[in-house]
Amino acid sequence: MPETFAVGTVVGSISKTSINRRLALALEKLGPEVGLELREIPIEPLPFYNRDYEEEGASYPAAATEFRERIAAADGILFVTTEYNRSVPGVLKNAIDWVSRPKTDAPMGGKPSYVVGTSRGSIGTALAQQHLRSPLFFLASPQLAQPEVFLRYTDGLINDEGEITNEATRDFLRSALQAFHAHLVLHVGHREA
């Protein structure tokens, strides 16, 4: 059994019925098979980022502090994003802003990441993923580039419990998580037993 890494999952949608939330749940269920413990780090409670929170004497809102701490504690971050208007949802960009500042103390700075997503369109979430990679590059996040997961969602592909109904899709997603595990070994290293 491979060593286990703690991975924070950030879902780029706050919709309770999001197909990307279903994908995140399916990946969470597959994770233990490849040595990944995936746990969602919710973005819904975050207020809008405002630089004023960094002024002397100011403090971050509790939701932002908790979000930053959970990102910092994770070995890596899995972004499971939807695509709005050929880009990332505003709530996801807001979450990235919270963990990118201040630059000297950015919890996302240098943190390994992987970006995946699903949509009903033929190119999955390719454009949103490309846009999300830009701020991650700025944060020096070592990103897993392959395999790309631009999953085309069809009704029934993933049920409400996060079970993947198509064996080929399940195998592909398992192999993607295996690649992320190897990426974490490379960038986080092995732990002493």
- Domain-by-domain residue ranges, the chain? 5-188
What's the rounded Cα separation, in Å, for the pair 24 and 55?
Answer: 36
Q: State residue 193's pLDDT score.
A: 46
| Cβ atoms 124, 117 nearer than 8 A | yes
CATH number for the segment(s) 5-188:
3.40.50.360
pLDDT of 88-138, one tens digit each? 999 999 999 999 998 888 999 999 999 999 999 888 899 999 999 999 999
Average pLDDT across the chain, whole number: 94
Spatial strand order of the sheet with 36-40 comes to 36-40, 5-11, 76-80, 113-119, 143-152
What's the rounded Cα separation, in Å, for the pair 43 and 48?
Answer: 11
Could you list the beta-strand ranges (E) of the chain: 5-11, 36-40, 76-80, 113-119, 143-152
Question: Closest Cα to residue 22, out of 93, 118, 97?
Answer: 118
What's the rounded Cα separation, in Å, for the pair 94 and 34?
Answer: 31
Q: State residue 1's pLDDT score.
A: 63
Mean pLDDT of 165-188: 97
pLDDT over threshold 50, residue 65: yes
| Cβ atoms 114, 83 nearer than 8 A | no
